[in-house]
Structure 1
Amino acid sequence: MTQTIQESVRMLEMLPESEQEFASQFIKRLVLAWDPDFTKLTQEERERLEAAEQRIDNGEYVKDSDIKWD
Protein backbone atom coordinates (compact mmCIF):
# COMPACT_ATOMS: atom_id res chain seq x y z
CA MET A 1 0.00 0.00 0.00
CA THR A 2 1.40 3.35 -0.95
CA GLN A 3 1.90 6.14 1.56
CA THR A 4 -0.79 8.19 -0.21
CA ILE A 5 -3.35 5.42 0.27
CA GLN A 6 -2.34 4.94 3.91
CA GLU A 7 -2.73 8.66 4.53
CA SER A 8 -6.12 8.67 2.78
CA VAL A 9 -7.33 5.77 4.92
CA ARG A 10 -6.20 7.53 8.10
CA MET A 11 -8.13 10.65 7.07
CA LEU A 12 -11.21 8.60 6.19
CA GLU A 13 -11.11 7.00 9.63
CA MET A 14 -11.37 10.48 11.18
CA LEU A 15 -14.72 11.11 9.49
CA PRO A 16 -18.11 10.23 10.96
CA GLU A 17 -19.58 7.04 9.50
CA SER A 18 -22.07 8.90 7.30
CA GLU A 19 -19.24 10.92 5.75
CA GLN A 20 -17.17 7.77 5.31
CA GLU A 21 -20.01 6.34 3.22
CA PHE A 22 -20.12 9.52 1.13
CA ALA A 23 -16.35 9.33 0.57
CA SER A 24 -16.61 5.66 -0.39
CA GLN A 25 -19.26 6.42 -2.99
CA PHE A 26 -17.14 9.27 -4.34
CA ILE A 27 -14.11 6.98 -4.70
CA LYS A 28 -16.24 4.40 -6.51
CA ARG A 29 -17.35 7.09 -8.96
CA LEU A 30 -13.74 8.16 -9.51
CA VAL A 31 -12.70 4.59 -10.30
CA LEU A 32 -15.63 4.10 -12.67
CA ALA A 33 -14.81 7.37 -14.44
CA TRP A 34 -11.20 6.26 -14.80
CA ASP A 35 -12.04 2.71 -15.96
CA PRO A 36 -15.77 2.23 -16.66
CA ASP A 37 -15.33 -1.28 -18.07
CA PHE A 38 -12.82 -2.47 -15.46
CA THR A 39 -10.31 -3.26 -18.22
CA LYS A 40 -7.31 -1.24 -17.07
CA LEU A 41 -4.62 -2.88 -14.99
CA THR A 42 -3.11 -1.45 -11.86
CA GLN A 43 0.69 -1.34 -11.72
CA GLU A 44 0.70 -4.45 -9.52
CA GLU A 45 -1.63 -6.33 -11.88
CA ARG A 46 0.52 -5.37 -14.88
CA GLU A 47 3.66 -6.62 -13.14
CA ARG A 48 1.98 -9.94 -12.26
CA LEU A 49 0.72 -10.33 -15.83
CA GLU A 50 4.13 -9.61 -17.32
CA ALA A 51 5.77 -12.08 -14.91
CA ALA A 52 3.24 -14.76 -15.90
CA GLU A 53 3.83 -14.07 -19.58
CA GLN A 54 7.57 -14.39 -19.01
CA ARG A 55 7.04 -17.79 -17.36
CA ILE A 56 4.97 -18.88 -20.35
CA ASP A 57 7.74 -17.78 -22.72
CA ASN A 58 10.20 -19.81 -20.65
CA GLY A 59 8.05 -22.92 -21.06
CA GLU A 60 6.96 -23.09 -17.44
CA TYR A 61 3.28 -23.26 -18.36
CA VAL A 62 1.37 -25.23 -20.96
CA LYS A 63 -0.56 -23.12 -23.43
CA ASP A 64 -4.18 -24.11 -23.94
CA SER A 65 -3.55 -24.24 -27.69
CA ASP A 66 -1.04 -27.06 -27.06
CA ILE A 67 -3.66 -29.25 -25.36
CA LYS A 68 -5.82 -31.68 -27.34
CA TRP A 69 -9.22 -30.92 -25.88
CA ASP A 70 -11.06 -33.67 -27.78
Structure 2
Amino acid sequence: MNRDMLKGLIELIPDEDINIIYQVIIKFIPEDEHLPDEIESIKEAKEDVSKYGTTPHNQINWD
Protein backbone atom coordinates (compact mmCIF):
# COMPACT_ATOMS: atom_id res chain seq x y z
CA MET A 1 0.00 0.00 0.00
CA ASN A 2 1.25 3.48 -0.83
CA ARG A 3 -0.21 6.99 -0.83
CA ASP A 4 -1.24 6.84 -4.47
CA MET A 5 -3.17 3.61 -3.90
CA LEU A 6 -4.87 5.14 -0.87
CA LYS A 7 -5.79 8.25 -2.85
CA GLY A 8 -7.29 6.01 -5.51
CA LEU A 9 -9.36 4.16 -2.93
CA ILE A 10 -10.66 7.44 -1.54
CA GLU A 11 -11.90 8.37 -5.02
CA LEU A 12 -14.12 5.26 -4.92
CA ILE A 13 -15.88 6.21 -1.66
CA PRO A 14 -19.48 7.42 -2.10
CA ASP A 15 -19.98 11.12 -1.30
CA GLU A 16 -22.30 10.35 1.59
CA ASP A 17 -19.46 8.45 3.35
CA ILE A 18 -16.70 11.04 2.85
CA ASN A 19 -17.22 12.63 6.27
CA ILE A 20 -16.82 9.27 8.02
CA ILE A 21 -13.54 8.61 6.21
CA TYR A 22 -12.37 12.14 7.01
CA GLN A 23 -13.05 11.56 10.72
CA VAL A 24 -11.02 8.33 10.64
CA ILE A 25 -8.07 9.79 8.71
CA ILE A 26 -7.85 12.94 10.85
CA LYS A 27 -7.24 10.74 13.92
CA PHE A 28 -3.89 9.68 12.43
CA ILE A 29 -2.55 13.22 11.95
CA PRO A 30 -0.47 14.28 14.96
CA GLU A 31 -1.48 17.49 16.66
CA ASP A 32 1.05 20.27 16.95
CA GLU A 33 2.23 21.29 20.38
CA HIS A 34 1.17 24.85 21.16
CA LEU A 35 4.00 27.23 21.98
CA PRO A 36 3.83 29.22 25.23
CA ASP A 37 3.26 32.51 23.38
CA GLU A 38 0.40 30.93 21.40
CA ILE A 39 -1.22 29.71 24.61
CA GLU A 40 -0.90 33.18 26.12
CA SER A 41 -2.39 34.79 23.00
CA ILE A 42 -5.37 32.45 23.07
CA LYS A 43 -5.91 33.19 26.76
CA GLU A 44 -5.78 36.96 26.10
CA ALA A 45 -8.20 36.65 23.18
CA LYS A 46 -10.70 34.70 25.28
CA GLU A 47 -10.46 37.31 28.04
CA ASP A 48 -11.04 40.14 25.53
CA VAL A 49 -14.09 38.43 24.05
CA SER A 50 -15.44 37.76 27.54
CA LYS A 51 -14.88 41.37 28.61
CA TYR A 52 -15.74 43.28 25.42
CA GLY A 53 -17.80 40.84 23.37
CA THR A 54 -17.55 40.72 19.59
CA THR A 55 -18.71 42.86 16.67
CA PRO A 56 -21.03 41.22 14.16
CA HIS A 57 -19.60 41.02 10.65
CA ASN A 58 -22.43 43.09 9.18
CA GLN A 59 -21.74 46.00 11.57
CA ILE A 60 -18.20 46.57 10.29
CA ASN A 61 -17.72 49.43 7.84
CA TRP A 62 -15.46 47.81 5.25
CA ASP A 63 -15.12 50.93 3.09
- TM-score, normalised relative to structure 2: 0.42
- TM-score, normalised relative to structure 1: 0.39
